Amino acid sequence: MPIGVSYFGNRILRHVAADMDDLAARGFTGVLHTMSENDLTYYRDTIGRLVEISHAAGLFVQVGPWGLGRTFGGEAESLFVANHPHVGQMLDSGRPVAAGCLNSEAYREFVRSWAAAAVETGADRIFWDEPHWAHPAHFDEPRERWGCRCPRCVERWCSESGDTDMPSELTADVRVFRERCLVEFLGDLTAYVAALGGRSTVCLLPHTSGSHGVADWSAVARLPGVATLATDPYWKAFDEPVVPFVTEFSERVAQQSAAAGIEPQIWIQGFRLAPDDEADIHAAVAAARSAGVDDLWTWGYEACGHMSYLGTKDPERVWEILCDALTSTPATPCPSEPPTSEPAFVIRSSGGSGTPEREPGLGGLFPSDPAFVIRSSGGSGTPEGGTDLGGLVTEQVRPELHDLDLRPTQELVRLMASEEAAVAAAVRRAAPAIAAAIDAVVARLTERPEGRIVYVGAGTAGRMGVLDAAECGPTFNAADKVIALLAGGPGAVTKPKEGAEDDAATGAAELAGLKVGPADAVVGISASGRTPYVLGALDAARQAGALTVGLSCHPGSLVSAAADHAVEVVVGPEVIAGSTRLKAGAAQKLVLNTISTVVMVRLGRTLGNLMVDVSAGSEKLVDRARRIVATAAGRPPAEAAAALEAADGEVKTAIVSLLAGIDPDAARLRLAQANGIVRQALAGS
């Protein structure tokens, strides 16, 4: 039963060691250390020591950006933004404020530098605490103020919308724009942390509307590199009734985490309380656990008794209450009535008579958002294991597109273009997994030159495999090295046979028909990560001793579990819900392009960026072969053409013959001894 607490302000290591031992003795399993901009400058190595000491006490460690750029939780000011005002936000009133603009590349680079330092500490998670746009109360502004309308944001708004200016009011469209920018900002950071070998927790404010709300929590849960989705329903800070408030957001975190295949986490208020809040503290813990969240943390150590701003009345007693509530073994709930069933998705208005959302500590209401919100109400199980597909990332409905059919054509064209732009970013985020799979394939085919790459898929995913395999013949003279199986057979390329994807036995049988064995690498392709045809083929490949790679667009999928190497390119829900021929298809094609191209490069089928194994089967390719020889050998076109003719059209042979000054037969021998790699054949020449 994971239990954690925040710990901040103390940098004296002997006291830290005693406190970490105290936490472990009380039954805590985790601790969060804060790293402010001041820490980054003056205590960077010390924070690393704090992490070491915490690990030595047996604690799981998170590190959070305390007040970083004034866009994350915490009371620390931002010296970086103060010293670089050009990266700051501008409120709707036109006032510049010392909070980093999420669309500023310079600010993003600064946050990445913080993230790199945080990963270097050795923390188990990087904790992105309450990411938000400028909070007007931080700058003595009325609560109706909002940011950002800086020139960067206005330019991006105009570029994406086609408008000549950005609205000065916080309209529903502006809220959608700000949320998209926030999620993209987080995606950039979590992907960067993942590329450094770290993993992230994202803790969202308990809002779904208003100037700081995130309507689509699933978009955050799906971000690559996110291991945990958290929120902090501090009932007293938000002036809300404890049980409904904690229950609502605990259920939201549990549902979205289950759908994304990650872990949920809830933070229990441990500041600005008093002993007479004991019942509420126990009720909050019980509500979170009843919603299915076991990973509970509290803010903060010793009930924040050391910090007057977050001061607690009788902090020693409140700390004992918190420890007791968190560390007590929860009783098994016994509901008085059976749970009511609910459809996989519920459309509800976020305005109307619902509970208004409040700013922490301000007691003020956000204006309600009239836009419709579609939220998942799926249960806590992983969706791949059952027949209800509503929880799959690839099947989810995007609430901000509820009026898609009413939008003008030009806007839809821009929307589609921006969606496709997200594909490349998702593939970049998956680069470590893709590279690991490629290296494994190259090792297998280098050791066993007779081996092949076999793509297996159904529907759009299968067609992407067929397309890439077909192109490898003329590009790399590798028609026998890259082949594809499509559920329903070759005819399904132009006439879909949708039911064929549900036949696992056929997938296994058709793979066996190719006599796949230990020399081969099999790549299973499935947007949802659960296609039976693909799973059957992967199982047969594994039994035959082949290397297996699972390519999907859903985190923690069955295809990932069935493969030696999992490549998960999570591009999020489609513009048209469930239409995976869009972003998912584009992502799959880009990954397959990458796999086949880089494998062929590593196997020596290129020289630099020249396709020296090109199969000259057309007039265009014959001309290309001549130009490749001329470029690689640095010879005039006529001399290159003559060498190519003497080499019977073999580009590699012609190049080696020219550069080594030998006849074609000797060039072929050198190439054979060098496993077909031109550079090795030329070594010593």
The catalytic site residues sit at 471, 501
Q: Comparing C-alpha atoms, which of 224, 234, 230 is closest to residue 203?
A: 230
| 8 Å CB contact between 470 and 440 | no
Quote the Cα angle for 230-233-237, to 5°.
Answer: 140
The secondary structure of residue 155, as a DSSP letter, is: H
Strands (E), 419-530: 453-457, 482-486, 521-526
Q: Specify whether the CB–CB gap between 548 and 524 falls below 8 A.
A: yes
Backbone angles phi, psi at 76, to 5 degrees: -70, 145
Tokens 């080696």 appear where? 656
Query: Is the CA virtual torsion 240, 244, 248, 251 positive or negative?
Result: positive
* 443-447 contact pairs (CB < 8 A, 24+): 444/519, 444/520, 444/521, 444/547, 445/481, 445/519, 445/521, 445/599, 445/603, 446/603, 446/675
**Are residues 217 and 229 in contact, defined by beta-carbon separation less than 8 angstroms?**
yes
Q: What is the maximum span of the chain, computed from C-alpha positions, in angstroms?
A: 94
What value does the CA radius of gyration of the chain take, rounded to a whole number of Å?
A: 29
Q: How far apart are CA 570 and CA 574, in angstroms?
A: 11
For 531, residues 6+ apart whose C-beta sits below 8 A from its C-beta are 457, 458, 459, 461, 487, 501, 559
Q: Give the strand order in the sheet containing 521-526.
A: 482-486, 453-457, 521-526, 547-552, 565-568
How far is 551 from 563, CA to CA, in rounded Å? 9
What is the distance between the alpha carbons of residues 248 and 50, in angstroms, rounded to a whole number?
35
> In this structure, what is the dihedral angle of CA atoms 468, 472, 473, 475, given to the nearest 10 degrees?
130
Query: In degrees rounded to 5, what are phi and psi of residue 486?
Result: -120, 125
Q: Which two tokens stand for residue 655?
A: 């190049």
The counts of H helices and E strands in the chain are: 23, 17
* Residue 478, token pair as written in the block: 């590798």
* Residues 631, 404: Cα–Cα separation, whole Å: 50
Give the residue among 442, 435, 455, 430 at the shortest CA–CA distance from 599: 442
Please give the backbone phi and psi of residue 193, each rounded to the nearest 5 degrees, phi first. -60, -40
Residue type, 500: A
How far is the C-alpha of 319 from the C-alpha of 313, rounded, in Å? 10
Left, alpha or beta for 681 (phi > 0: left; psi -120 to 50: alpha)? alpha
The answer to whether the beta carbons of residues 452 and 519 sit under 8 Å apart is yes
CA distance 581 to 40: 45
